[in-house]
Amino acid sequence: MASQDNVSRSEAPNGSDSHIAPTTKVAFVTGITGQDGSYLTEFLLQKGYEVHGLIRRSSNYNTQRINHIYVDPHNANKARMKLHYADLSDASSLRRWLDVIKPHEVYNLAAQSHVAVSFEIPDYTADVVATGALRLLEAVRSHMADTGRTIKYYQAGSSEMFGSTPPPQSETTPFHPRSPYAASKCAAHWYTVNYREAYNLYACNGILFNHESPRRGENFVTRKITRALGRIKVGLQTKLFLGNIQASRDWGFAGDYVEAMWLMLQQEKPDDYVVATEESHTVEEFLEVSFGYLGLNWKDHVEIDKRYFRPTEVDNLKGDASKAKEGLKWKPKVGFVQLVKMMVDEDLETAKREKVLVDAGYIDAQQQP
Ligand code: NDP
Ligand code: GDR
pLDDT tens digit sequence for 51-60: 999 999 999 9
Listed residue (348, 350, 245) closest to 299, CA to CA? 245
pTM: predicted TM-score of the whole model, two decimal places: 0.95
**For ligand 2, is residue 221 a contact (CB within 6 Å)?**
yes
Nearest protein CA to atom 35 of ligand 2, as residue: 158
Report whether 40 contacts 261 (CB < 8 A): yes
The verdict on whether 92 is a catalytic residue reads no
Listed residue (367, 354, 216) closest to 286, CA to CA? 216
Cα–Cα distance, 163 to 202 (Å, whole number) = 27
Average pLDDT for 97-118:
98
The three-state secondary structure class of 53 is strand
CA of 33 relative to ligand 1 center, distance in Å:
8
Task: Tell me the sheet residues that pair with 82.
Answer: 52
> What percent of the chain has a predicted confidence (pLDDT) above 70?
92
Query: What pLDDT, on a 0 to 100 scale, did the predictor assign at position 74?
Result: 76
Average pLDDT for 357-363:
94
**DSSP-derived secondary structure letter, 268:** S
Listed residue (18, 22, 139) closest to 90, CA to CA? 139
DSSP string for residues in 15-68? TT-TTS-TT--EEEEETTTSHHHHHHHHHHHHTT-EEEEEE---SS---TTTGG
The verdict on whether 326 is a catalytic residue reads no
**For ligand 2, is residue 283 a contact (CB within 6 Å)?**
yes
Please tell me which residue in 158, 159, 184, 290 is annotated as part of the active site.
158
Residue 342, amino acid: M
pLDDT tens digit sequence for 290-338: 999 999 999 999 999 999 999 999 999 999 999 999 999 999 999 999 9
Query: What pLDDT, on a 0 to 100 scale, did the predictor assign at position 57?
Result: 93
pLDDT tens digit sequence for 264-284: 999 999 999 999 999 999 999
CA of 34 relative to ligand 1 center, distance in Å:
5
Q: Would the pLDDT of 77 be above 80?
A: no
Average pLDDT for 91-114:
98
Q: Is the ipTM of this complex over 0.95?
A: yes
The verdict on whether 268 is a catalytic residue reads no
**For ligand 2, is residue 188 a contact (CB within 6 Å)?**
no
Residue 340 CB contacts under 8 Å (≥ 6 apart), including other chains: 222, 226, 286, 289, 290, 293
Other residues' Cβ atoms within 10 Å of the Cβ of residue 292: 13
